[in-house]
Structure 1
Amino acid sequence: MASASWDQIESLYERARAVRPGDRDAFLREHCDDPAIRKEVASLLDARAQAPRFFEEVAEGAIDPLLEEVDDSTEGGTFDPPDLTGEQVGSYRLGEQIGVGGMGLVYRAVRTDGDFERTVAVKLLRRRLYAEEAVRRFRAERQVLASLDHPNIAGLLDGGVTSGGRPYLVMEYVDGVPLMAYADAHDLGLDARLDLLQQVLEAVQAAHQQLVVHRDLKPSNVLVTETEGAPRVTLLDFGIAKLLGDSLPVTRPQTRTGRHLMTPAYAAPEQVAGGEITTATDVYQLGALAYELMAGTRPFEVSGKSLTEIEQILLNTTPRKPSDAQKTGSGVASSEMQGDLDTIIMKTLRKEPERRYRSVEALLADVQRYRVGTPIEARPATLGYRARKFASRNRTAVAAGLVVALLVAAYAVTVTIQAGQLAEQRDRAQREAEQAEAVSSFLVDLFEAADPERTGGDEVTAEDLLDQGSDRISALDDQPRVQANLLQTLGQTHRRLGHLNEADTLLQRAVDQYRALGATTSTRYAEAVSQLGLYRRDQGNYEEAQALLDDAIEHRRGQGPPKALARELIRQSYVERQLGHLDTARVRIEEALNIQRRELGANHVATAESYFNLAAILREQGRLSDATKHQRRSLSILQSQVDGPHRGLAVNYGSLGHLTKKRGAFRKAEKYHRKALEQKRALYDAPHPAIAVSLQSLGALYNDMGRFDEAEQHLREALRMRRALQGPEHPDIAGLLHNLGALYWDQGQLARADSVLREALAMKRTVYDPPHVKVALTLKQLALLRETQGRTEEAGARHRAAVAMYETVRPTEHPAIARARFAYGRFLLDQGRVDAARPVLRSAHHVLSDTPANPEATIQTALNYGQCLTRLGQYQKANAVLEEGRTLAETHGRQEALQEVQTALAAVEGK
């Protein structure tokens, strides 16, 4: 039937559903003159009455345009996709339309802001979101999908919601050919088709490990591109079914609710029966895809079938074996599929989910066994079967064996040896299958835990599932390797959600278990060690984090992709920076940056992260100009690749806030910090460490701006959040106490400032290993407070201790040392110790005048050094130094400082 007719059917059907069943015939006759359309609508209404749940759960696009969702603005009219070429969606200008599907319209597009352009695919989805909660949940799910990082999964780069409430997704643009079209065009043989299938299986397996199910796997969602090495598969729309499914709350009355995205030709029986969607659903769909790829036809032909017929076929009909199927495409010869390949594919297509492969990992393992000629787990391991498999793998050896078979004794020895080898292979394969099945069973149980019938209709959150998962791990004590893998995955997830105590327990157990098993050369061990190192970093235990990450780096250098090594180098660079090892940190990050530019390209999001980290190191080295250059480059790359809220954008805004603050541009710094906080509040639920960081940054900034009430409000909120997350003692809590002490001092509350700063110093001496820059910073602050209190002897001691500690942990020309020397030199000058003050102030002026990171500090240093020289009678030198200060004050508009410098110059001119 023509597309226009289907649109009429859908419109009429939707309106007829609102009519009482006894009045529908009259309604149809009144509103439609075409008997064929009336008959089809009546049959749809009848089918719905017979199988209502199935009908409501058929997804957008399930039967071509029949059930495509009507645009809300048409009030039940036909959906006529407009041509949006040239329109702006978020930061992207749409080019030509490259697809129309059940989920929406797909356009090729380019980003229009920033310095970098990249071609992307923008998918405008049919569903509208009207409630803030729906939008928030959409964005949260989008972040989960964006975290999927696999070379065979098209990356989700960005997304948002238009002003009209329509969600859109920005995905990696893949200039490829659909799987079946590619296979047929190149007339691929069995091995080449299996190569493509394995890439698909590996991608789905990786996503399942992150608890993401596709739900709509089909050849059109698999594109193949030519590369230098071999054809590469890319899966599209991974997890979008989850994004658009029941995880989003209903925000307006819907004409059809509770649907799951699927396509009938590839739908699993549980999808049409309204059953639970689990990893087994993807296993079935992969089987249907493999069937078509090998046989050249689909397991079931449903085109032109009514909904009731489709349901009956999918639930009750067993497809022919692929080798017996009547081909409609190229496929491979029937003789090549007979036997194990038939068995593997038919196992995936069983009606009962529990009788299929329990995981994609198990399916992949059987495909690999088939390819190398070892026994597959899908077939009973009879002696005759094992012998045939051995013979197929060792044709030459078997031929020679037949020659000597007349020698009974030799023959018996040969059979004994072969049986031993086969038993070993069988046992190893069985162990692998058991591990895969245990993981799959674990994940399936978690998905089933969200069943409304089990929860009484209550919403099950990610935290609920993680808690249940942690509890169920103990049931796997007899499978320690499986248990270790799951401990690592759940621990990593808890850490990302900010559940630090749970992450600590799970990750430490995973690392201990891998070590006990002697599995320290595995990639999973490296990731577990790295994740535990990140947790130790979050705790502020940088020495232990350093050791753990060194272990991960050593492993990554020996094996694994370069990207994994770059990731560990980035993590270690941060830890080295916290330890004050800035040169080492810079070496680490520059190595990572070189790897990423080579492997990923200059404009990749991961490359932006390395530029961000390099900027942070340069900032701490006092190289603000270079730091700002790399920081802006990081932000520019991200703005060309993503659209907020995004963690990378948030941290870049925060760092630019710090850099502009150091340059004295407080208003601009506030704008950046507020942007960072907005991004983080959209990304995370409070309390969260990332939100606390931005609150603290704003509090410190407001203190510098003299907005004391706002400063205290933000710092107090950050402190409450930190204590809730990190306990009573933590480096970040010590830093917050330091900020609060400085605030009270600036407000003139000296007793409160004294108490809080001493608490901060005591905590820093506990959580850091002095000498440390953080300890030195609070020593200097206490020295200044002691000056204000008139406790000069103690003030001098604190100043000397701070300078000495900075000199121990920082390079000679570091601005932090210069600022500490300036504070001490000014104290000496105020005490009348001019001769002692002169070398200290001269050293500070020398460094700060060459690196004017903080104009205010540089001007004040020039002022005090000039005053010192004046009091020593060195008027010519004093005049030159003070002129530098005047020029800097005029350049940066520091009127109060300018007046002080001019007064000092007048005193010199009077001599």
Structure 2
Amino acid sequence: MGFRVRSFCVLAAAGLLALPGARPAVAQTAAQTGVGSRVTVSADPEVLARSARDSRDAGDHAGAAEAFAEAGRALVLNHDAAGAAEAFTDAARSRLALGDVDGAYAVLAEAARRLEAAGPEAHGAAGRATASLARIRTNQGRYAEALALLDRSEALGGDALDGPGQAALAYDRARILDFLGRAEESEVHARRALTLRREHLGEADSLTGDAQNQLAVSLQAQGRYDEADRAYRGALTVYEAVNGPDHPHVAIALSNLGNILRRRGREHAAEPVYRRAVRIAESSGDDELLAQCLTNLGWHLRMTGRSPEADPVFRRAADLLVTVAGPDHPFTGIAFANLALILGDQDRHAEAEPLFVQALAALEPAVGTDSPDILATLDGYAHTLAKLDRKAEADAVYGRTLDIARSRLSPGHPEAMRQTVAVADFLLDDGRAAEARRHLDEAEAALFQRIGAATDPRAGALRRTQALFERQVRADWSLAHPARAENSLTPNP
């Protein structure tokens, strides 16, 4: 399973805690935030802020976090909502500098509570703090919580935000919905973010490139590869013009573009794009970005029949993700699934099976039990169960994949076609040709519906038609010659 690389600075403090509409920035000074510009009620915020800055400058991030938080509390009492929000944000940044994500979340949660309780005039600041809480949950892979927090953020003050602020919330919502497998909804919000950023920031702005990349991600998830290709290239053009050819943002667009090239059958063009993305990511210092770029390269190697080359690439990605994201993060779940698939390629199915279980344990709580993003993992798990002669369990998992494809993907979606072919192979191997033929016929009708609606590139559709027709021929042969079907050759996927 590959990554659609959504955004940069997945765990970086500056990007994580940027207020809606604001660019990631280092912690601001008292003069910039207004800390110390009011007469305090219970404490002197200027003294607290000075102490916080001194602690931070001395490398005492724990002391800085406490002092900034105290300044925030004092500023709430002084009815300085904007200054309080900035002070609490600085406290959270100091927590992140210690690697204490939970501590940063707690600080911002306190800020949101205090600011909301301070009255309607502080609700906009409370909404901005809540938006940062949503970003933390998104980056932790807790997407349902993130969406609820973003809803709360918009309810508190979304209408009062300027254009860039509205764009930031739309962008955040697009990311979360995409992670939850709700690609059509994600597209709507990504387009809004892109429109607003083009209007307020211009085309040549990195944030505009981010919105274009997210739009491409949403289109890719819907199998609209031609449109996604154009959007990824647009993001790449913006990133290279604004940041230079070796910036981490460029690696994001390149790795995603490689995915599209591969899916459109242009594997030879995809490989140098993937490798350039990895080279940039290696020099970026962002291990999570590197892991995602490595994963996409590894998936390309595996899909082009080079599993031995993919093995060390996947293992390196998994090691990085366990370290930077933890074993329970959905990104790490994808890494575990890829390792399991490689073991399956080597017929080491008994070793692969627990890795699939571990992968699903990380993925399902984050993206949902019916998410299209778990299809590849479920398919690999079902195949492994079949190879271990646990056919009843494999049958149940394959049935689940078809249910997801039918309920969550549009008719004729490329992933739905691939999954139908995989299920048909299992059923044919199990002597259930009539059942396989029924599923294949349904998929064929859906694919031609998609072609007729002009939502699928004809070349890609024809490749999927070939795979379906091959299985239909095999099913017909099995039905016509049941005694000889066991000795017939199985077409390659």
TM-score over 0.5 (shorter chain): yes
Pick from 347, 350, 359 the counterpart of residue 31 of structure 2. Answer: 359
2:301: which partner in 1?
Answer: 702
Gap change, CA 1:801 and 1:590, over 3 Å in 2: same
Instruction: Provide Cα deviations, 1:475-528, integer angstroms capped at 9, x if missing partner.
Output: 548616366532323425766997634433433333333334446844432222
Aligned partner of 1:530: which letter?
A
CA distance in 2, matches of 1:783, 1:150: 43
Instruction: Provide Cα deviations, 1:377-414, integer angstroms capped at 9, x if missing partner.
Output: xxxxxxxxxxxxxxxxxxxxxxxxxxxxxxxxxxxxxx
Q: Confirm or deny that 1:861 pairs with 2:468.
A: yes
CA distance in 2, matches of 1:831, 1:817: 21
1:665: which partner in 2?
Answer: 266
Query: 3-state SS of the aligned residue for 1:552?
Result: helix
1:762: which partner in 2?
Answer: 361
Offset of residue 812 of structure 1: 3.5
CA distance in 2, matches of 1:828, 1:607: 47
Gap change, CA 1:439 and 1:649, over 3 Å in 2: farther
Q: Confirm or deny that 1:655 pairs with 2:262.
A: no
CA distance in 2, matches of 1:621, 1:438: 54
CA distance in 2, matches of 1:745, 1:765: 21
CA distance in 2, matches of 1:853, 1:467: 55
Q: Confirm or deny that 1:599 pairs with 2:194.
A: no
Pick from 228, 236, 239 the counterpart of residue 635 of structure 1. Answer: 236
TM-score by length of 2: 0.80
Offset of residue 594 of structure 1: 1.9
Instruction: Provide Cα deviations, 1:589-619, integer angstroms capped at 9, x if missing partner.
Output: 1122222222223343322221111111111
Q: Is the 8 A contact 2:344 2:384 kept in 1?
A: yes
Which structure 1 segments of 5+ residues have no match?
Answer: 1-142, 152-205, 213-278, 280-357, 366-428, 450-463, 874-896, 902-911
Q: Is the 8 A contact 2:48 2:70 kept in 1?
A: no
Aligned partner of 2:437: which letter?
R
Aligned partner of 1:860: which letter?
A
Gap change, CA 1:731 and 1:574, over 3 Å in 2: same
CA distance in 2, matches of 1:808, 1:150: 34
CA distance in 2, matches of 1:531, 1:477: 16
2:65: which partner in 1?
Answer: 470
Offset of residue 647 of structure 1: 3.3
Q: Is the 8 A contact 1:828 1:837 kept in 2?
A: yes
CA distance in 2, matches of 1:208, 1:362: 19
Q: Confirm or deny that 1:822 pairs with 2:431.
A: no
Structure with greater strand percent: 1
Gap change, CA 1:509 and 1:721, over 3 Å in 2: farther
Q: Confirm or deny that 1:745 pairs with 2:344.
A: yes
2:170: which partner in 1?
Answer: 569
Gap change, CA 1:670 and 1:855, over 3 Å in 2: farther
Within-5 A mapping of 1:154-303? 210-211=26-27
CA distance in 1, matches of 2:317, 2:334: 11
CA distance in 2, matches of 1:447, 1:788: 57
1:725: which partner in 2?
Answer: 324
Gap change, CA 1:144 and 1:818, over 3 Å in 2: closer
Query: 3-state SS of the aligned residue for 1:430?
Result: coil
2:104: which partner in 1?
Answer: 503
Instruction: Provide Cα deviations, 1:774-798, integer angstroms capped at 9, x if missing partner.
Output: 3443222222223333433332222
Q: Is the 8 A contact 1:624 1:853 kept in 2?
A: no
Q: Is the 8 A contact 1:741 1:753 kept in 2?
A: yes
2:379: which partner in 1?
Answer: 780
CA distance in 2, matches of 1:609, 1:507: 25
CA distance in 1, matches of 2:25, 2:238: 29
CA distance in 2, matches of 1:694, 1:771: 26
CA distance in 2, matches of 1:825, 1:587: 35
CA distance in 2, matches of 1:708, 1:209: 42
Q: Is the 8 A contact 1:500 1:725 kept in 2?
A: no
CA distance in 1, matches of 2:389, 2:282: 44
Offset of residue 838 of structure 1: 1.8
CA distance in 2, matches of 1:573, 1:544: 15
Offset of residue 856 of structure 1: 6.2
2:444: which partner in 1?
Answer: 845
Q: Is the 8 A contact 2:174 2:185 kept in 1?
A: yes
Pick from 247, 251, 269 the counterpart of residue 646 of structure 1. Answer: 247
Higher relative contact order (CA 8 A, sep 6+): 2
Instruction: Provide Cα deviations, 1:356-385, integer angstroms capped at 9, x if missing partner.
Output: xx73555997xxxxxxxxxxxxxxxxxxxx
Offset of residue 768 of structure 1: 4.1
2:39: which partner in 1?
Answer: 430
2:430: which partner in 1?
Answer: 831
Offset of residue 535 of structure 1: 0.9
CA distance in 1, matches of 2:192, 2:129: 23
CA distance in 2, matches of 1:476, 1:709: 56
Aligned partner of 2:424: which letter?
G
1:692: which partner in 2?
Answer: 291
Instruction: Provide Cα deviations, 1:97-139, integer angstroms capped at 9, x if missing partner.
Output: xxxxxxxxxxxxxxxxxxxxxxxxxxxxxxxxxxxxxxxxxxx
Which structure 2 segments of 5+ residues have no match?
Answer: 1-12, 77-82, 481-488
2:483: which partner in 1?
Answer: none
Query: 3-state SS of the aligned residue for 2:217?
Result: helix
Q: Is the 8 A contact 2:36 2:46 kept in 1?
A: no
TM-score by length of 1: 0.45
1:804: which partner in 2?
Answer: 403
Gap change, CA 1:497 and 1:437, over 3 Å in 2: closer
In the alignment of these two chains, the number of paired residues is: 457
Offset of residue 810 of structure 1: 2.6
Query: 3-state SS of the aligned residue for 1:738?
Result: helix
CA distance in 2, matches of 1:150, 1:488: 13
CA distance in 2, matches of 1:477, 1:555: 19
Aligned partner of 1:359: which letter?
A
Instruction: Provide Cα deviations, 1:553-590, integer angstroms capped at 9, x if missing partner.
Output: 34454212111110110111111111122221111111
1:794: which partner in 2?
Answer: 393
Gap change, CA 1:726 and 1:362, over 3 Å in 2: closer
CA distance in 1, matches of 2:303, 2:310: 9
CA distance in 1, matches of 2:276, 2:306: 19
CA distance in 2, matches of 1:618, 1:839: 29
Aligned-residue CA RMSD (Å) = 3.8
Offset of residue 150 of structure 1: 12
Instruction: Provide Cα deviations, 1:638-664, integer angstroms capped at 9, x if missing partner.
Output: 222220442321210111121122223
Q: Is the 8 A contact 2:424 2:440 kept in 1?
A: yes
Offset of residue 803 of structure 1: 0.7
1:479: which partner in 2?
Answer: 74
Aligned partner of 1:485: which letter?
E
Q: Is the 8 A contact 1:623 1:853 kept in 2?
A: no
Gap change, CA 1:670 and 1:207, over 3 Å in 2: closer
Aligned partner of 1:479: which letter?
A
Gap change, CA 1:360 and 1:564, over 3 Å in 2: closer
Instruction: Provide Cα deviations, 1:529-562, integer angstroms capped at 9, x if missing partner.
Output: 1111011011111111001112233445421211
CA distance in 2, matches of 1:532, 1:766: 19
CA distance in 2, matches of 1:490, 1:543: 26
The worse-fitting range, judged by mean Cα deviation, of 609-618 and 852-861 is 852-861
